[in-house]
Structure 1
């Protein structure tokens, strides 16, 4: 059996992990109630604040990104709370459903998949409802390659209306602009295995002083995701209330080191260049992005299939013949789109190798693909 490390992982998460980050997990297991761990954890929290660009509290959950999403809901939303949420894909739909299942009342601003609703619709909802508790927004809708490009305006609106603003940034933090405090985001959550380029299993959350005060005064009837307990343990002990995934903490810490060695602004610019190259190269092959131009993601490239392309056969070719992993579509988009994760370590090498394999695979399936895609992509790099 061939090992997975032979593959170029161009999924929308998990992504390729640098060797330095993988090797960090070889550090010895330590007592998570020891001074050794407290030193490590304080360092991680400080670096994560820098990554989020926030002065707020940081909670580090040993969970998938979905755990962080759930934590944001069960700690903040109470029965009958009104929550505004734009819904334009699988993950925003799941989040709205979670809010409803927890007892909240989601006010869904729906738009076609691949698009974002006009900002004016949020203002209209606030005019119609005077008791909105929070706005939740999936900053980057992974299922459709769609990014909200007015997060700053949503933060300003929430600040003016004195409601909470929560950003699901699972697939975008570390790959695109996200100044948490500047955009007035009260709770921002992400996951380690996407643009941060660490192994799965660590999910950081930033919490503003306003949200922290509310959570502390309105403790939720939960255990593992009880953020009040995390605040207490960090403040009193510089520890986590439950056993953290120690090897993953070491890996996440090293991934943060790599981010700041490169420089966060440089990292964001690199992601944009690679995304532009993907869109240019794919377009030269006659392939079109699924997301509209003003909502197009720099970290998840969702692409419409050419008529007649068999999804499974195409992705199997990429995997088996070229050792490249990409993702298919979700739900109604299954078989209609494929998705490339352009995040984390992504570079000229990843872009050129992936585009070359896509072009070759389509030709192997007897599709007439124009030449020159690689050169057009390189012009953007």
Structure 2
């Protein structure tokens, strides 16, 4: 085993393509130069198809959470009421951000491992017509659930004038997103997931409906004031110092994604999801999410006491230098999560499944060697 050959199979950060690493090593240029302005404006424009929007996409130097906070602080005021759809740890994060700004956050919760249904939000909104915004998580990485954003948007539009704000940090760029067609008002994401970059960039797009609210809203933010980003993007720049090297990398990422094409990217991720789920079933490991709502980018697995999830993770790291994710909050130590997004392809999935089988054998867990790999191969063969 080569010590420097780290294999990341977590829900982010994800592996970085060598082409992108090379692009980020370009000599530094002035962030207020004409050369950078041209690069920045073109790169922001190229992000639009992944959001499914004709609106501008804003790029800020910060983690995905900074964009979540931007979506909150620019649309709501202290004392406003919001509905937060909570199906795991990251839905809860939206609620905490709201509460930090004095916004009344009504949690609409489902058990971890379940998806939020349109019927649930319809019932809630009928009882709470004063709600000004609904927040949801597209892919809840803590549970491996993909919430039905298009259906939720339709339900919200039917029963409310509230803005619909979506955290798509852990799957945008790997799944369909039709922000304009679905009627979603704000979509946010980050750089270190399906966009195959290091952590450090966040992206946000807002609808015309959202902008009508934002323009009238007195933002409590300084760095996260969205109006400042809109003004600067019109001038092909940013209000504050951009992460120049990451923008170099983002331009290269978009080259790679455009070469493959979004429909093919989506199919590749769906295939890797199906291979992973077939393998876990063949190994008699419980899947947390139902097929209908299974995440395209991360699979959450529950050993249900047949072996210790942390023992598996430790063995994978020690023997194969492979990192998979553990559980969060009350699921810490109980489940494991396999990331399959970004710079990842079906052969990588076969690799991690094979290593999981060997690791299960080494920790004394019941396993039929080759069963998971065979099941995943059969899915791959049927796809080819």
Deviation at 1:308, TM superposition (A): 4.7
Alignment of 1:138-217 (within 5 A): 138-149=137-148, 151-160=149-158, 161-217=160-216
Please say if residues 170 and 190 of structure 1, whose CA atoms lie closer than 8 Å, have aligned partners that are also in contact.
yes
Aligned to 2:367, which of 360, 366, 369?
369
Secondary structure at the counterpart of residue 132 of structure 1: coil
Look up the match of 1:354: 352
Aligned to 2:289, which of 263, 275, 291?
291
Moved beyond 6 Å, runs of 4+: none
Deviation at 1:307, TM superposition (A): 1.8
Aligned-partner Cα distance in 1 for 2:3–2:229: 37
Aligned-partner Cα distance in 2 for 1:192–1:12: 12
Deviation at 1:61, TM superposition (A): 1.0
Aligned to 1:277, which of 252, 275, 278?
275
Aligned-partner Cα distance in 1 for 2:61–2:17: 20
**Cα root mean square deviation, aligned:** 1.4
Secondary structure at the counterpart of residue 255 of structure 1: helix
Deviation at 1:292, TM superposition (A): 2.6
Deviations for 1:217-263, whole angstroms, at most 9, x for unmatched residues? Answer: 2231321111110111111x210010111111111111111111101
Deviations for 1:173-193, whole angstroms, at most 9, x for unmatched residues? Answer: 011111111111111000111
Deviation at 1:306, TM superposition (A): 4.8
Please say if residues 202 and 252 of structure 1, whose CA atoms lie closer than 8 Å, have aligned partners that are also in contact.
no
Alignment of 1:87-166 (within 5 A): 87-149=86-148, 151-160=149-158, 161-166=160-165
Please say if residues 116 and 147 of structure 2, whose CA atoms lie closer than 8 Å, have aligned partners that are also in contact.
no
Aligned-partner Cα distance in 1 for 2:187–2:31: 25
Look up the match of 1:60: 59
Please say if residues 57 and 209 of structure 1, whose CA atoms lie closer than 8 Å, have aligned partners that are also in contact.
no
Aligned-partner Cα distance in 2 for 1:77–1:3: 48
Please say if residues 199 and 251 of structure 1, whose CA atoms lie closer than 8 Å, have aligned partners that are also in contact.
no
Deviations for 1:115-169, whole angstroms, at most 9, x for unmatched residues? Answer: 02332121111211222211110111111111112x1122223334222111100
Alignment of 1:230-249 (within 5 A): 230-235=229-234, 237-249=235-247
Deviation at 1:3, TM superposition (A): 5.8
Please say if residues 171 and 191 of structure 1, whose CA atoms lie closer than 8 Å, have aligned partners that are also in contact.
yes
Aligned to 1:340, which of 323, 338, 346?
338
Aligned-partner Cα distance in 2 for 1:198–1:360: 30
Secondary structure at the counterpart of residue 223 of structure 2: coil
Deviations for 1:270-292, whole angstroms, at most 9, x for unmatched residues? Answer: 10001000000111111111123
Q: How many residues align?
A: 377
Look up the match of 2:256: 258
* TM-score normalized by the length of structure 1: 0.96
Deviations for 1:34-70, whole angstroms, at most 9, x for unmatched residues? Answer: 1101110111111111221211121101111111111
Aligned-partner Cα distance in 2 for 1:22–1:111: 40
Aligned-partner Cα distance in 2 for 1:72–1:121: 23
Aligned-partner Cα distance in 2 for 1:8–1:306: 26
Deviation at 1:95, TM superposition (A): 1.1
* TM-score normalized by the length of structure 2: 0.95
Deviations for 1:266-321, whole angstroms, at most 9, x for unmatched residues? Answer: 10111000100000011111111112333211111100125252333321211121
Please say if residues 168 and 188 of structure 1, whose CA atoms lie closer than 8 Å, have aligned partners that are also in contact.
yes
Secondary structure at the counterpart of residue 176 of structure 1: coil
Look up the match of 2:28: 29
Look up the match of 1:48: 47
Aligned-partner Cα distance in 1 for 2:255–2:156: 33
Aligned-partner Cα distance in 2 for 1:29–1:219: 36
